């Protein structure tokens, strides 16, 4: 456990030089100084803040993290050097970075049932799915602008299809009613009372509950994973005339808008999993990843329908995400407390390259930070959401905002963590600024 580094026997010292890639006013003199060997990151942070204040008296104290040979320090300097076999007789270079810590916990956005899904990929709004069968669009904490009404069973997954698009946004929802639905709304709409809208298209074809939905990067297609063990591919941009029209009238009344509604069929199916396909991702035009309760992660060619990678994980899987270095690492969690990460580019891919085991129950969600090679979040049935950095085995911080199972999690606007749970809350923790790094810097730090 970390201490402040200022107690106990401080007679042993280590000669260190602090370095950083941060710009002024964060830089400190390049000369070496002596610090107590029992200093942890808290004691080191005090030293760096004092050095900055010497040059800038108006400096406000800020927490820092510290890297030695590319690894975050999470124990005393003395213990770290012993564990890594590093000599204390030479000058030790320690890089300091701004600590990633949450600054503010916003008021929760209340739902009428379990919050099972969240997508924060658009900076203008975020989207939630709920066990009451509704999707909801939120402009900010507690500010709901649209209610997506139509599913007859819980919404299990949501996806924003064109997050950076024009005013008119398309989103997809997947449900235990065996269908997916496509919706359009004006993302710039501001109103005091949420507008109820109906889907413009219903996608039918799965024979069991639909568990996950993901959009192709172009937005032209989506894929879905189901309890029927299949992955279906659907078009999102085909005209209404290609489907069977369900409702041809368009009407708008107070608080409710309904447009023409059509039905669509899957253009193809990917077959190979033997149990529920719990999570799907479509990170590249021709590449789909899937996770399943059959203990496997698969990578599919969307054009040929063939799988080119099959990782056996040993546990039923609940969640999957692709990101990290070169957007190539695979993170997944399931029916144990361990978040695991694989690098498919390396031989012997079945062995994870990282494992994080601070949760105490099943892992239900994981999500990479879009602009960092090191950071990702996870949610668990233990009710906690954790932020991880690949350079240490301990979580950077733990969000303990839920009073029941945490079911979903995502990033929003780069520095906000969203999470939904069985306590019917969508919780929002803001100000968790992740330092965006240039690829040249990252290559130096990746082992």
Confidence of residue 347 (pLDDT cuts 50, 70, 90): confident
Structure confidence at residue 256 (pLDDT) = 53
Q: How far is residue 263's CA from residue 204's CA, in Å, rounded to a whole number?
A: 7
What percentage of the chain's residues is helix, strand, coil (to nearest 5)?
A: 10, 45, 45
Tell how far CA 206 is from the center of its chain: 27
Confidence band, pLDDT 50/70/90 cuts, at residue 257: low
Closest CA to 320 of 290, 298, 363: 290
DSSP letters for 310-332 = EEE-SS-EEEEEEESGGG-EEEE
Query: Distances in Å between the alpha carbon of 249 and those of 66, 200, 239, 252, 354?
Result: 62, 11, 16, 10, 54
Distance, in Å, from the CA atom of 212 to the CA atom of 288, rounded to the nearest integer, reads 13
pLDDT score for 64 = 95
Which residue from 295, 333, 331, 340 is spatially nearest to 314, judged by alpha carbons?
295
d(CA 272, CA 423) in angstroms, rounded, equals 35
Return d(Cα 20, Cα 27) in angstroms, integer: 7
CA distance 437 to 54: 27
Beta pairing class for 201-203 and 256-258: unpaired
Structure tokens at 80: 């770290």
| pLDDT mean over 290-304 | 97
**pLDDT surpasses 60 at 254:** no
Q: What is the largest CA-CA distance in the chain?
A: 82
Over residues 415-435, the pLDDT tens digits come to 999 999 999 999 999 988 786
Q: What is the pLDDT of residues 137-181, one digit of tens each?
A: 999 999 999 999 999 999 999 999 987 766 789 999 999 999 999
39/25 Cα distance (integer angstroms): 24
- What is the structure's pLDDT at 7? 43
Least confident of 21-25, 160-164, 200-204, 288-292: 160-164
Peptide bond just before 25 cis, omega within 30 deg: yes
Predicted structure pTM score: 0.88
């Amino acid at each position: 456990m970390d201490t402040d580094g200022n107690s106990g026997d401080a007679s042993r010292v280590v000669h260190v030089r602090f370095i950083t890639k941060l710009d002024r006013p964060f830089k400190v003199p390049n000369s070496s100084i002596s610090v107590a060997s029992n200093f942890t990151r808290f004691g080191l942070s005090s030293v760096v803040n004092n050095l900055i204040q010497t040059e800038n008296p108006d400096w406000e104290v800020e927490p820092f993290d510290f890297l030695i040979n590319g690894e975050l320090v999470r124990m005393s300097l003395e213990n770290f050097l012993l564990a890594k076999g590093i000599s204390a007789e030479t000058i030790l270079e320690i890089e300091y970075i701004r600590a990633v810590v949450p600054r503010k916990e916003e008021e929760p956005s209340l739902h009428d049932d379990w919050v099972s899904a969240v997508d924060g990929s658009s900076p203008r709004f975020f989207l939630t799915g709920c066990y009451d069968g509704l999707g909801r669009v939120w402009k900010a904490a507690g500010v709901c602008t649209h209610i997506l009404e139509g599913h007859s069973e819980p919404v299990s997954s949501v996806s924003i299809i064109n997050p950076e698009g024009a005013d008119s946004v398309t989103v997809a929802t997947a449900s235990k009613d065996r269908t997916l639905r496509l919706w359009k709304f004006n993302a710039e709409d501001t109103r005091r009372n949420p507008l109820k809208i109906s889907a413009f298209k219903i996608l039918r074809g799965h024979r069991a509950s639909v568990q996950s939905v993901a959009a192709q990067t172009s937005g032209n297609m989506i894929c879905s994973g189901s309890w029927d063990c299949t992955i279906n591919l659907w078009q999102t941009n085909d005209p209404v005339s290609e489907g069977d029209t369900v409702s041809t009238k368009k009407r708008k009344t107070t608080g409710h808008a309904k447009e023409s509604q059509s039905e669509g069929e899957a253009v193809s199916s990917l077959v190979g999993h033997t149990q529920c396909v719990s999570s799907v991702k479509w990170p590249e035009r021709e590449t789909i990843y899937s996770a399943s309760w059959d203990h496997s992660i698969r990578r599919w060619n969307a054009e040929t329908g063939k799988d080119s990678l099959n990782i056996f994980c040993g546990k039923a899987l609940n969640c999957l995400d692709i990101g990290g270095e070169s957007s190539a690492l695979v993170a997944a969690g399931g029916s144990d407390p361990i978040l695991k990460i694989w690098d498919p580019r390396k031989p012997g891919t079945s062995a994870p390259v990282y494992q994080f085991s601070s949760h105490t129950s099943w892992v239900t969600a994981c999500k990479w930070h879009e602009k960092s090679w090191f950071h990702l979040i996870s949610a668990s049935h233990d009710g906690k959401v954790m932020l991880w950095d690949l350079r240490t085995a301990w979580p950077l911080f733990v969000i303990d905002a839920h009073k029941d199972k945490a079911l979903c999690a995502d990033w929003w606007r780069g520095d906000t963590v969203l999470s939904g749970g069985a306590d019917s809350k969508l919780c929002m923790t803001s100000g968790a600024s992740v330092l965006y790094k240039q690829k040249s810097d990252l290559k130096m730090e990746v082992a």
